Structure 1
Amino acid sequence: MKKIFMFFLMLSTSAESMNCFPESNMMIGEKKLNQKSFLAKNFESGLSEIEFHLTLDKFEKVWAPIIQEKYNKKLIVERDWKNARVNAHATRDDQDNPMIVVRGGLARHPDITPDGLLLMLCHELGHHYGGAPKIFRGNTDRRSWSSAEGQADYFATSKCMPKIIEQDDSQVPESVQKSVEQVCFSVNCNRMVMAAMSVGRVFASLRTDWNVPEIGKTSEEKISKTIYSHPNPQCRFNTFIAGVNCDKEIYQDFDNDDYSIGACVNDERASRPACWFVENNY
């Protein structure tokens, strides 16, 4: 029986996912929606089937060998191109191999880019290998195998994306260069900021009370204990940027119990944002 943790961009029914993601009727079939997109000014809107598979190939080429060597596990990426749901989720098979399921509706979303999809894949991988804080199993005090949503985001830009794009020739459109430079200056950082904007716009499109994140803005969310479910898009964007700015070695893993190992702490620019993480209450 599969142990399932679902990161839903649609409708969540799994107790493991805490039923926290907004219900949405968004379905994007192979005939793309006629929808205006901010990012379409700078990127082609949505991905073709070829781009979808090439992006997943790129992810697997880097991460499958790492997971095989480090954990003796097989990375399984299920490519459900024909499925119209705007959705991706992480789960495990009967042999405890990490699985990532990606629906075609997500790839066809008008705000997704190849790097945005890579970031989503890294987020899902972060549920498997993102370390502490881990979510709780149902209403018990036992920890799940899955890292919290915010931690999966932090892993995505601090450990996962850098390994994929470190050899690439990265470019950022001139029209957004000045905005991106508010938070970073390195080429790879610029690229991950744009990926985070792509993903942030996808998140924001699924709930009417969620806004598109802004570069240079800090989430005003006030919390007293760690949030394990999905933070708002601005908070998640800030988490992605914190991961980018963390100068810890990208090959130093996070720990499953000690949140400080492999992470940046007491660093305003690079620590997990206070909009979802509370050090003394997780």
Structure 2
Amino acid sequence: MKGLLLGLLAFGLINVPTQLCEGFMPENDMQVSVGDKKANTMTEKRFNQIIDKVVKVYAPVIKKRGGKLVLKRKWKNKTVNASAQRILFWYVVNMYGGLARHEAVTDDAFALVVCHEVGHHIGGAPKISSSKWASNEGQADYFGTLKCFRRTFRDEDNVRIMANINIPDYVTEKCKAEFPEAGELALCQRAALAGKSLAKLLGGGRGGNFNTPDGRVVDTTNDRHPAAQCRLDTYFQGALCDKDIFDELSSKDPIPGSCARVRGRSVGVRPLCWFKPKS
């Protein structure tokens, strides 16, 4: 029955309510076409392979929730963004080739955006105040490195992958303090650098710094897109949280499955530049 409905929807033969979440980044006029001279080296094959890795992990997770993960692979689309939609039981993620081809976006950064969009669907609280289903932007970022990126790439040879990568000493120091085992350390570094790549995109070429976190403190939780430095802080803190990747996040309570100040944690916590903990 679900397959029939999906087919009818695809051909526009039925109309159903569609709930669209904001894009990964604010609306913009950036475009990167296939073959653009400013594009990175991303290929359609790698574009699909990266998406496949995340789908392999999270399609079964969403199936257990009674949903179906639907990845719309818009390789030829020039848009530099990504988005999530909830259509009945379909957990839709729209991934655009323009984003994947942007010169600031590495393969790992693209994977982290896929994770971010999946995070809107299953990333837990805090959620967008006007939505019953979507985790807010900061939480989708946090979920990306806290759970999804680590879960997707945990079985790869991360030590080898990171061996010849220039990693800031500050990142290594902080990751090693939380993850002394070599493989977990390398995965923490890898997630952090994916976040750095996205911060460069989000900051218009200025990627922020790991050791200069955003000092702003919000009065209420910000559901929308935080500033680039704040988002880098979120990616880094998610990577540093040592909670088990299989510890479930709650749809109502931001504490379970995460590193929380209320539990005496100071590392791996959601940054105060977008998150207001309950007093």
Q: Give the Cα–Cα distance (whole angstroms) in 2 for the partners of residues 34 and 119 of structure 1.
A: 22
Aligned partner letter, 2:139: Q
Q: Give the Cα–Cα distance (whole angstroms) in 2 for the partners of residues 8 and 245 of structure 1.
A: 22
- Contact 1:180 1:193 (8 Å CA) reproduced: yes
Q: Larger deviation: 178-187 or 214-223?
A: 178-187
1:260 to 246, 255, 258: 255
Q: Any residues of structure 2 matched to 1:12-27 within 5 Å, and which?
A: 21=26, 23-27=27-31
* 1:34 matches 2:29: no
Q: Give the CA deviation at 1:222.
A: 2.9
Q: Give the match for residue 86 of structure 1.
A: 80
Q: Give the Cα–Cα distance (whole angstroms) in 1 for the partners of residues 278 and 151 of structure 2.
A: 31
Aligned partner letter, 1:256: S
Distance change in 2, residues 1:8/1:123 (3 Å): closer
TM-score (norm. length: structure 1): 0.83
Q: Give the Cα–Cα distance (whole angstroms) in 1 for the partners of residues 168 and 215 of structure 2.
A: 25
1:47 to 42, 45, 48: 42
1:240 to 235, 247, 255: 235
Q: Give the match's secondary structure for 1:135.
A: coil
- Contact 1:46 1:113 (8 Å CA) reproduced: no
Q: Give the match's secondary structure for 1:28.
A: coil
Alpha-carbon displacement from aligned partner over 1:120-167 (angstroms, at most 9, x marks no partner): 011111111111111122xxxxx4311111011111111111111110
- Contact 1:242 1:271 (8 Å CA) reproduced: yes
Unaligned runs of 5+ in 2: 1-16, 177-184
RMSD of aligned C-alpha atoms? 1.8
Q: Give the match's secondary structure for 1:64.
A: helix
Aligned length: 249
Q: Give the match for residue 6 of structure 1.
A: 22
Q: Give the CA deviation at 1:74.
A: 1.3
Q: Give the Cα–Cα distance (whole angstroms) in 1 for the partners of residues 199 and 168 of structure 2.
A: 18
Q: Give the Cα–Cα distance (whole angstroms) in 1 for the partners of residues 33 and 218 of structure 2.
A: 38
Distance change in 2, residues 1:182/1:155 (3 Å): same
Alpha-carbon displacement from aligned partner over 1:220-271 (angstroms, at most 9, x marks no partner): 2232111110001111111111111212221111111111111111122111
Unaligned runs of 5+ in 1: 10-20, 36-44, 138-142
TM-score (norm. length: structure 2): 0.84
Q: Give the Cα–Cα distance (whole angstroms) in 2 for the partners of residues 116 and 174 of structure 1.
A: 15
1:184 to 175, 192, 199: 175
Q: Larger deviation: 49-58 or 76-85?
A: 49-58
Aligned partner letter, 2:213: T
Q: Any residues of structure 2 matched to 1:110-121 within 5 Å, and which?
A: 110-121=103-114
Q: Give the match for residue 272 of structure 1.
A: 270
Alpha-carbon displacement from aligned partner over 1:52-75 (angstroms, at most 9, x marks no partner): 11111111112112221x212211
* 1:75 matches 2:69: yes
Q: Give the match for residue 61 of structure 1.
A: 56
- Contact 1:123 1:153 (8 Å CA) reproduced: yes
Q: Give the Cα–Cα distance (whole angstroms) in 1 for the partners of residues 249 and 57 of structure 2.
A: 18
Q: Give the match for residue 144 of structure 1.
A: 132
Q: Give the Cα–Cα distance (whole angstroms) in 2 for the partners of residues 217 and 226 of structure 1.
A: 21
- Contact 1:248 1:264 (8 Å CA) reproduced: yes
Q: Give the Cα–Cα distance (whole angstroms) in 2 for the partners of residues 232 and 222 of structure 1.
A: 12
Q: Give the match's secondary structure for 1:124.
A: helix
Q: Give the Cα–Cα distance (whole angstroms) in 2 for the partners of residues 122 and 60 of structure 1.
A: 10
Q: Give the Cα–Cα distance (whole angstroms) in 2 for the partners of residues 275 and 67 of structure 1.
A: 30
Alpha-carbon displacement from aligned partner over 1:3-50 (angstroms, at most 9, x marks no partner): 1112253xxxxxxxxxxx2x4321100022437xxxxxxxxx341111
